[in-house]
Amino acid sequence: MSPAAGSLRIVGLGPGSEDWITPEVSHILTQATDLVGYAPYLERLTPNRGQILHKSDNRVELERARFALGLADGARRVAVVSGGDPGVFAMAAAVFEAIESGEPQWRDLDISVCPGISAMQAAAARVGAPLGHDFCAISLSDNLKPWPLVERRLRAAAEGDFVIALYNPASKARPKQIFDAFGLLRTHIGGATPVIFARAVGRPDEEIVVTTLQAADPGRADMSTLVIIGSSATRAIAREGAAPFVYTPREAGAAS
């Protein structure tokens, strides 16, 4: 790699608190010449002198990825910034999609992904260890996939008795899916199953609600919420004057 060669790092800031940004990511953020990302993520950073911030809307991921690749191809040191883990429902997939359909020389760029704490991990940590055994993560957004595929995955998750983490449960444009998802899950999963709504984890307005599948109000979920639904083995431990702990034991469930 010549000294003039550019680079592309796809980094994750974690879900909100500075305390969750890895040293790897912090170092890259100080060394980059260009920071590319959805505006609210870039606004969490204090740029160095001379660093260029390229803020974008959150609906233009592929365009943003191509722009970042073009900068790196032009010998800039580029950091593409995601919240959470860039590899989990975030920018890394968009960058590789852009590489596959883009300029041939993009495949030879110096590119790497730097993992971060994902929303489900932070949400789980706040209540105990609901992801302590087999689990799955499903995005409820049908902007880019057909809703029947979401339903197929929800059914399979219930059939496999997985703990389920739901990303992108709702937004202003998609208020209804989370109701449909809970409707489907309620026909397969016991009503006493613990459910967690974790909103804005790591931010000053963080709000965690522990409830059950039966009692849950799906309308609680918005675009800043991560929802976790337990397996048949997930347990809530009652406490006096505090929210219950929720965990999934290591010997998780019966065979059928």
Q: How far is the CB of 71 from its own copies (least distance, A)?
A: 19
Q: Which ranges of the chain would DSSP assign to H, the alpha helix? A: 23-31, 39-42, 61-73, 91-101, 119-127, 147-159, 177-186
Q: Is 128 in the site for its own copies (CB under 8 A)?
A: yes
Q: Of 8, 36, 79, 137, which one interacts with its own copies (CB under 8 A)?
A: 137
**CB environment 136-163: b (16+ within 10 A), e (fewer):** ebbbbbeeeeeeeebeebbeebbeebbb
- CB 165, CB 227: distance < 8 Å: yes
Radius of gyration of the chain (CA): 20
The residue within the footprint of its own copies, chosen from 7, 121, 193, 225 (CB under 8 A), is: 121
Interacting residue with its own copies among 57, 63, 108, 207 (CB under 8 A):
108
Q: Which of 132, 194, 218, 230: binder of its own copies (CB under 8 A)?
A: 132
Please report how close the Cβ of residue 206 comes to its own copies at its closest, in angstroms: 13
Beta-bridged to residue 84, according to DSSP, are 14
Q: Is 204 in the site for its own copies (CB under 8 A)?
A: no
Interacting residue with its own copies among 89, 170, 185, 221 (CB under 8 A) = 89
Segment contacting its own copies by CB under 8 A, of 72-80, 134-142, 172-180, 216-224: 134-142
160 in contact with its own copies (CB under 8 A): yes
* Non-local CB neighbours of 27 within 8 Å, separated by 6+ positions: none
